[in-house]
Amino acid sequence: MKRDFLRLWDLSSEEIDLMLEKAAELKSGKDVNKCPLIGRSIGLLFEKASTRTRVSFEVGIYQMGAQVIYMNPREIQLGRGETIHDTARVLSRYLDAIIIRTFSHNTLVDFASSSSIPVINGLSDLHHPCQALADLMTIFEKKRRLKGIRLAYIGDGNNVANSLTEAASRMEINLKIACPEGYEPDPHIFEEARASAKSEITIVRDPKEAADKADAVYTDVWVSMGQEEEAEEKKKKFKDYQLNSKLLSYAKKDAIVLHCLPAHRGEEIKDDVIDGPQSAVFDQAENRLHTQKALLEFLLTSR
């Protein structure tokens, strides 16, 4: 039976543990010559521009012995009116899995409902689960544990924040999200995660309260792709939510700094923080490669 990865909760905590262990092995160079996906073909269907998601998946797929088929919706029949369902059924005959990066999360849900191959969410407006896997790997690398970690997320309650709430719930991380009123994570996702969590998942207004004694402090851009018309208004409302050295000083002395990138330097994060000694941002970006390789192997070889 095929498995999809549309949100972090598509994996159990035990499966996440196994995936992070496998990702660490891959990063260490173990089985470097092993090609578990040789002969497979994996599609990338991207509606949104991408740096890390596209390159990390393309490199990882190549390293695992498979080939990549990159598709821009404007260049295939989907862009001329063919339905998502027909496209999914046809591509299922050619490919072994597909990664989709899109605006509406419903596009992923509809595609997966008609697909007979695994569908992976490379990013949607509601979830960014591949990023959350890399976040978990990075925290574990630096702190050697996940359970009981105090994670502060400062900024917009966007798709990254939504997936972090699910990650916190699954892995017993204490998560405090600091955001202005009206910019909270999706209420259904947040309440669902909090209701099932064995850890504390809360929303506060004061970023200093969130950062207080945190093991990791995470931020993201204030204006996501597709929200450019809101840019000036959001910058005004988020001006007190910048991750700078003063805010970081409220966290533990050995706290790490996280950002999923791209960063708008000077807005949500200052240069001396993202480039400073506590930054794990570029390790976090690298870990996209390793966790996604582990994810692909899990979805394609454990069926």
DSSP string of 169-186? Answer: HHHT-EEEEE--TT-PSP
Rg of the chain taking only CA atoms, in angstroms = 19
* CB environment 58-88: b (16+ within 10 A), e (fewer): bebbebbebbbeebebeeeebeeeeebeebb
Mean pLDDT of 73-96: 92
Q: For residue 174, what pLDDT is reported?
A: 98
Answer whether CATH 3.40.50.300 is correct for domain 8-128+288-301: no
Q: For residue 191, what pLDDT is reported?
A: 97
Sequence spans of domains, the chain: 8-128+288-301, 129-284
Reported as a single tens digit per residue, the pLDDT across 147-182 is 999 999 999 999 999 999 999 999 999 999 999 999
Catalytic residues: 101, 128, 131, 220, 260, 288
**269 DSSP assignment:** B
Position 9 pLDDT exceeds 90: yes
Q: For residue 303, what pLDDT is reported?
A: 59
pTM as predicted = 0.96
Q: For residue 151, what pLDDT is reported?
A: 99
Percent of the chain clearing pLDDT 70 (strictly above): 98
CATH classification of 129-284, choosing from 3.40.50.1370, 3.30.365.10, 3.40.50.10440, 3.30.70.1150?
Answer: 3.40.50.1370
**297 DSSP assignment:** H
Task: Name the pLDDT band for 1 (thresholds 50, 70, 90).
Answer: confident
Question: Comparing 29-43, 171-185, 260-274, which segment has the lowest mean pLDDT?
Answer: 29-43
